[in-house]
Structures are given as C-alpha cells and as structure tokens.
Structure 1
Amino acid sequence: MQKPRTCLVTQAMDILGKKWAITILLQLLSGPKRFCHLEGDTEVSGRLLSERLKELEAAGMVTRTIYPEVPPRVEYQLTEKGKDVGPIISDIYAWASKWMNDGLKQ
C-alpha cells in the first residue's frame, strides 16, 4: 500500500507555521547570527529557540557553524533554501498589511 502524498504547501507550512520560525528566519535574513544575539533580538526562550534552529537545520534552511575558539563561537546562517523564503515572507506581510490591519477582518 502506497503512502498518500502530502501537499507541498502543507509540508512548507508545517515548517514555517511553527511558532517563532518566521521570526528566526527574518533575523537570519540580515546575515549570520550567534545564538545569544538571536535570543536577545527576539522574545523566544532559549529552549524553544534551540528547538526551532534544530528543526530549521534539519529542513535544510539553516546551517550551524562552530568555530574552534575558546570559548567556542557558534553562528547560524541561512542556506540558499532558507534565503529563498525572504520574498515569501514579504508577500505574506504585504497580504497581511492589506487584509489584517483592522484585526481579523474578512
């Protein structure tokens, strides 16, 4: 028996729709950041930030680079796949600005 195919949009939203995922991606669009900077620039808890970064890394959207320094420096940056989400976020923002300014107006 074949496994039913999942809609590609649903697959994408499973990644992007998780709490704080878009915020993290937006922060990384400006360039590589250290964990402490991501944590300080957002309201996400350290535990959840770590979880989301691992999920985005597993999805191929973020890379993690460890520099052999004392103390160790770890930076996160977007892959090409991650950078490609920038225009999508901009489009969602434009849509929300047009249709969501007055609350959840339909």
Structure 2
Amino acid sequence: MDREDPSVVVPDIAEALVSIAERYAVGQVGALLPDELVKDLSAPKDWELLRLTAVLLGALGSGVGAHLLGMTDIAAWLGAGVLILGLIAAFRHDFRRFISIFPSGGLAP
C-alpha cells in the first residue's frame, strides 16, 4: 500500500479541519466539508431492511420448522430466541432499538 509523505498530507488535513471548524462555528452543520471534497462521494447503501427481513424470516422459519417437527411446545420460544440472536448478529450494538418494540421492552435503554 502506498503511503504519502506526511509533510505533504498533514497540511491538507489541517486545512480541512480548519474549514470544518469555521463552518461549524457559523452554524453550517449540514455542510461542514467544502463541496470540492465531497462532489465525487456517494452515500453508502442502507442494508437495514434486508437484514431485518432476513432475521424475521429466519425466526419465522425456525418456529414453523419446530411446529412441523412436532415440537409445538417450544416453537414460539425457538422463534423468539432465533429472532433475538438474529437481531444481535445482524445489528450488533444497535439491536436494542428493535427489542423495545416488544411488549415487555425490558432490554431497551
């Protein structure tokens, strides 16, 4: 990986930080960076809906699968367990905001 000389890069970073500080000081919070620095950038893709759909389908599938296998007593518990573990796996630290939609809401901050 190529590394640029710090004596060349540091002044550019310092100039960008001064520009950000000046814009923040005058209240331009929505446009902290100069337009020439962000003109070629695009917003990252939002995969939240796809991850949530996959988690819900996995929980539903595990509950239905348990029911079809004759384990009707634990089908709901298995589905709920897979749902919570799936949310943790898919959303990491941000999973708590989905837990708060359940009636108990015990894990919500």
**Which gives a bigger RCO, structure 1 or 2 (Cα 8 Å, sep 6+)?**
1
- TM-score computed with the length of structure 2 as normaliser: 0.25
Larger proportion of strand: 1
- In terms of Rg, which structure is larger? 2
